[in-house]
């Protein structure tokens, strides 16, 4: 037999897709690979839609208008409701700068281009920053709809071909898409994740099933084994993959082929796996899986904003979010999806009504989202002082491009302080922490009638003979070598100050709660410890750097790392104050000591070896809790860089500890 009608097991398979997605997004580590549920959805969609299109084409009743009417009934009503709800709910939760993003993402969602939007703003899907994007999950809807703009037309154009020829064409396109995904994942991972060309093969697998590319499984035992293998493949992906695994290339094969296996086996046999997926509970969740997918992410984003500065939800909050998501999903399915999806004789809304409502609803939402952008997120929603504090804290320092990597071969730099009778200058060098220290450095120089220069290389450690493993590594090495060479050629330098994010360099990791690339160091010099860890390489690189500049400076000052808070201070502190809550918790001095233990040991050792002065920022910032605000202003630009206010408040204090008695 060949089952071509409604299949309960496919609704159950939808449950197998959506539940891991929801649980993974909620932060349950057991379901770290839950994101593969989206890939299962793509296979299901490709199978069901292709099956409908092929039958209509073969029966001579295919119509693009009919097809897009069905898509409108299926996709738009629930999407419109969720988008409208996000406009209302996040009015009370998001800062103006982030509320504007809802406007941009909302327009992209309505135009089914949000995957392109999130790719263009480089929102790595698993980064903590994206956990605050309420419409991030609409990227997968955009992929599907972009596919279905082209695919029905393609099938119509090749309708006269023999089924074998059609199958070969779809197989060829799918294989090309898969090859592109495999090639792009290591080279352009964000593009590979979001963009449609690298996802076509997943929908194509489902299409190939519908086209009969797989032989009928006539033996029951074989069908049972295939279905069970499919279930195991999906489970393996859900429970073993995580955000560190390259995706969607080779690692996407398991969930996609698993979905193919389950659907394939169920085409000719009622398997045990199929019976499991056909149970009432599995089918029930599967029927409302689209609404559950739509509502769960905004619910989780709202919960993170309301409850956790570090983005991690506690178990009780997770349970509440899951129950709320299920309740909202059921309501959406029952009162939004079902009335609009009914068609033919039982239609509550005819074709004209569907297209009219789709156009009117889409236009209204486009207008509202555009208004969010035009009004800059309605900053008047915030108390004036709070909005001003946030804006000032997140302003980039004025001198950020004065001395960057572009000037690696020239001694041009941010000229700070003021002309004085003292001809010698004080030089500060380091990574981006030096960049954000320049306002305070400039103030201190002016207060002491001194001149100074600030060399900074964003993401570039002030180390010789080693480098970080990222795309700017060669430029960073050239920059720091050129900077050290320039210092060696000068005769008017009396002090060199070295400042960097030492804890991240020594540990190679970021603090808990902060996402982003690791700071893995690798040797460049042959003499560098080939088997050394980050701490060993930091020690070697700093030793070489200080040895190179020590003969050319009367004094060297090593400033320890600025305390890392672990969350975006202006954003989370402002949200807390908006909600009438106290400022979020911060690390204390003991936390700072633990995080910086190896870094401080290296700095102390190098200071003693090269006759340098070591300044410990810990007691200045943390008394005992590390400060993030003072006098109604935020000290941080993000989670670890000082704001302009913070720089002017804290950097002079650190410099006084080292230089004031002698200047």
Stretch 604-618: mean pLDDT: 97
Statement to judge: residues 305 and 433 lie in one domain: no
Over the chain, what is the mean pLDDT? 90
List, in sequence order, the alpha helices (H) in 375-512: 384-393, 432-447, 473-488, 502-507
Statement to judge: residues 307 and 453 lie in one domain: no
Tokens of 511: 């603090």
Statement to judge: residues 341 and 440 lie in one domain: no
- Statement: residue 474 has pLDDT above 90: no
Domain assignment of residue 382, yes or no: no
- Statement: residue 130 has pLDDT above 70: no
Percent of the chain clearing pLDDT 70 (strictly above)? 92
Contact 407, 415 (CB under 8 A): no
**Is residue 450 classed as helix, strand or coil in its secondary structure?**
coil
pLDDT by residue (tens digit) across 253-286?
999 999 999 999 999 889 999 999 999 999 999 9
pLDDT score for 344: 54
- Statement: residue 210 has pLDDT above 90: yes
- Statement: residue 527 has pLDDT above 90: no
- Statement: residue 408 has pLDDT above 80: no
pLDDT score for 6: 85
Identify which has the larger pLDDT, 159 or 473: 159
Stretch 422-439: mean pLDDT: 89
- Statement: residue 410 has pLDDT above 60: no
Identify which has the larger pLDDT, 325 or 415: 325
Statement to judge: residues 332 and 415 lie in one domain: no
Statement to judge: residues 357 and 429 lie in one domain: no
| Calpha distance 601→604 (Å, rounded) | 5
Of 643, 253, 659, give the one whose Cα is nearest residue 437.
Answer: 643
Which CA distances in Å does 227 have to 7, 21, 395, 594?
15, 21, 56, 51
pLDDT score for 478: 85
| Calpha distance 74→240 (Å, rounded) | 33
Statement to judge: residues 321 and 403 lie in one domain: no
Percent of the chain clearing pLDDT 90 (strictly above)? 69
Domain assignment of residue 393, yes or no: no
- Range of lowest pLDDT (242-246, 383-387, 412-416): 412-416
- Statement: residue 415 has pLDDT above 50: yes
Tokens of 203: 């929908």
Partners of 427 in beta bridges: 453, 496
Stretch 646-653: mean pLDDT: 96
Domain assignment of residue 121, yes or no: yes
Domain assignment of residue 385, yes or no: no
pLDDT by residue (tens digit) across 28-79?
999 999 999 999 999 999 999 999 999 999 999 999 999 999 999 999 999 9
pLDDT score for 102: 95
Domain assignment of residue 518, yes or no: yes
Statement to judge: residues 353 and 404 lie in one domain: no
Domain assignment of residue 359, yes or no: yes
pLDDT score for 83: 98
pLDDT score for 575: 84
Identify which has the larger pLDDT, 186 or 14: 14
Statement to judge: residues 371 and 520 lie in one domain: no
- Statement: residue 242 has pLDDT above 60: yes
Contact 413, 403 (CB under 8 A): yes
- Statement: residue 470 has pLDDT above 60: yes
Q: How many domains does the chain have?
A: 2
Q: Residue 661's pLDDT band (boundaries 50, 70, 90)?
A: low
Residue 600 Rama label (left phi>0; alpha psi -120 to 50; beta):
alpha
- Statement: residue 588 has pLDDT above 70: yes
The enclosing domain of 541 has a CATH number of 3.40.50.1110
pLDDT score for 402: 47
- Statement: residue 403 has pLDDT above 50: no
- Statement: residue 423 has pLDDT above 50: yes
Q: Residue 581's pLDDT band (boundaries 50, 70, 90)?
A: confident
Identify which has the larger pLDDT, 595 or 351: 595
Give residue for tokens 């400042």: 499
Of 419, 420, 414, give the one whose Cα is nearest residue 437.
Answer: 414
Q: Residue 571's pLDDT band (boundaries 50, 70, 90)?
A: confident
Statement to judge: residues 133 and 240 lie in one domain: yes
Statement to judge: residues 477 and 328 lie in one domain: no
Domain assignment of residue 42, yes or no: yes
Statement to judge: residues 191 and 328 lie in one domain: yes
Other Cβ atoms less than 10 A from the Cβ of 357: the count is 16
DSSP 405: G
- Statement: residue 173 has pLDDT above 90: yes
Name, in order, each residue with C-beta under 8 angstroms of 219's C-beta and a sequence gap of 6 or more: none
- Statement: residue 89 has pLDDT above 80: yes
Statement to judge: residues 309 and 410 lie in one domain: no
- Statement: residue 251 has pLDDT above 90: yes
Q: Residue 457's pLDDT band (boundaries 50, 70, 90)?
A: confident
pLDDT score for 409: 45
Domain assignment of residue 3, yes or no: no
Q: State which residues form the domain around 23.
A: 8-377
Name, in order, each residue with C-beta under 8 angstroms of 150's C-beta and a sequence gap of 6 or more: none
Stretch 460-482: mean pLDDT: 83
Name, in order, each residue with C-beta under 8 angstroms of 493's C-beta and a sequence gap of 6 or more: 424, 425, 426, 427, 487, 552, 553
Tokens of 422: 């003292």
Of the three residues 377, 411, 436, the one that is the final residue of a domain is 377
Stretch 421-450: mean pLDDT: 90
Stretch 351-365: mean pLDDT: 94
Q: Residue 131's pLDDT band (boundaries 50, 70, 90)?
A: low
pLDDT by residue (tens digit) across 133-156?
999 999 999 999 999 999 999 999
Contact 147, 195 (CB under 8 A): no
């Amino acid at each position: 037999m060949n089952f071509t009608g409604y299949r309960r097991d496919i609704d159950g398979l939808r449950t197998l897709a959506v539940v891991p997605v929801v649980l993974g997004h909620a932060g349950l580590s057991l379901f770290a690979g839950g994101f593969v549920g989206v890939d299962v959805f793509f296979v299901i969609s490709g199978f069901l839609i292709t099956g409908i299109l092929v039958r209509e084409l073969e029966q001579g009743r295919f119509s693009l208008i009919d097809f897009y009417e069905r898509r409108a009934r299926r996709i738009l009503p629930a999407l419109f409701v969720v988008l409208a709800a996000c406009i209302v709910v996040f009015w009370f939760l998001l800062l103006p700068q982030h509320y504007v993003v809802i406007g941009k993402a909302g327009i992209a969602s309505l135009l089914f281009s949000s995957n392109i939007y999130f790719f263009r703003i480089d929102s790595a899907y698993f980064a903590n920053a994206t956990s605050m994007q309420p419409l991030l999950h609409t990227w997968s809807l955009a992929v599907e709809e972009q596919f279905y703009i082209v695919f029905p037309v393609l099938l119509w154009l090749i309708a006269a071909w023999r089924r074998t020829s059609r199958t070969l064409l779809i197989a060829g396109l799918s294989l090309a898409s898969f090859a592109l995904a495999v090639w792009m994942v290591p080279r352009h991972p964000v593009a590979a994740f979001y963009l449609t060309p690298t996802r076509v093969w997943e929908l194509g697998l489902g299409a190939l099933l519908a086209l009969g590319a797989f032989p009928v499984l006539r033996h029951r035992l074989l069908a049972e084994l295939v279905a069970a293998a499919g279930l195991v493949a999906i489970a393996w992906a859900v429970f073993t993959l995580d955000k560190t695994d390259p995706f969607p290339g080779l690692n996407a094969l398991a969930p996609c082929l698993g979905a193919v296996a389950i659907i394939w086996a169920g085409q000719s046999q009622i398997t045990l796996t199929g019976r499991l997926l056909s149970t009432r509970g599995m089918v029930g969740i599967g029927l409302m899986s689209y609404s559950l997918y739509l509502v769960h992410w905004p619910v989780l984003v709202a919960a993170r904003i309301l409850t956790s500065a570090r983005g991690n939800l506690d178990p009780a909050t997770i349970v509440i979010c899951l129950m709320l998501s299920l309740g909202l999903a059921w309501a959406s399915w029952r009162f939004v999806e079902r009335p609009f999806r009914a068609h033919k004789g039982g239609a509550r809304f005819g074709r004209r009504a569907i297209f009219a409502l789709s156009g009117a609803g889409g236009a209204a939402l486009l207008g509202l989202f555009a208004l969010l952008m035009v009004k800059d997120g309605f900053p008047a929603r915030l108390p004036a002082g709070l909005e001003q504090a946030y804006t000032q804290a997140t302003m980039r320092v004025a001198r950020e491009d004065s001395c960057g990597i572009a000037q690696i071969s020239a001694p041009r730099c941010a000229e700070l302080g003021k002309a004085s009778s003292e001809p010698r200058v004080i030089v500060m060098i380091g990574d981006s922490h030096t960049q954000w220290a320049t306002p305070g450095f400039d103030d201190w120089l002016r207060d002491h009638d001194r001149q100074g220069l600030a060399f900074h290389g964003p993401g570039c450690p002030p180390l010789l003979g080693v480098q970080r493993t990222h795309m700017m590594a060669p430029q960073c090495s050239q920059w720091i070598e050129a900077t050290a060479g320039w210092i060696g050629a000068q005769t008017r330098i009396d002090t060199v100050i070295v400042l960097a994010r030492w804890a991240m360099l020594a540990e190679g990791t970021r603090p808990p709660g902060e996402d982003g690339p690791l700071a893995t160091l690798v040797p460049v010099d042959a003499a560098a410890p080939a088997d050394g860890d980050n701490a060993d390489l930091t020690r070697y690189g700093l030793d070489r750097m200080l040895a190179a500049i020590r003969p050319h400076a009367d004094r060297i000052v090593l400033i320890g790392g600025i305390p890392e808070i672990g969350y975006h201070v202006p954003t989370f502190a402002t949200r807390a104050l908006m909600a009438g809550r106290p400022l979020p918790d911060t690390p204390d001095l003991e936390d700072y000591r633990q995080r910086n233990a190896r870094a401080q040991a290296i700095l102390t050792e190098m200071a003693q070896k090269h006759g340098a002065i070591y300044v410990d920022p810990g007691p200045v910032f943390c008394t005992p809790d590390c400060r993030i605000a003072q006098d109604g202003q935020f000290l941080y630009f993000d989670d670890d860089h000082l704001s302009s206010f913070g720089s002017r408040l804290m950097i002079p204090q650190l410099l006084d500890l080292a230089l004031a008695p002698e200047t």
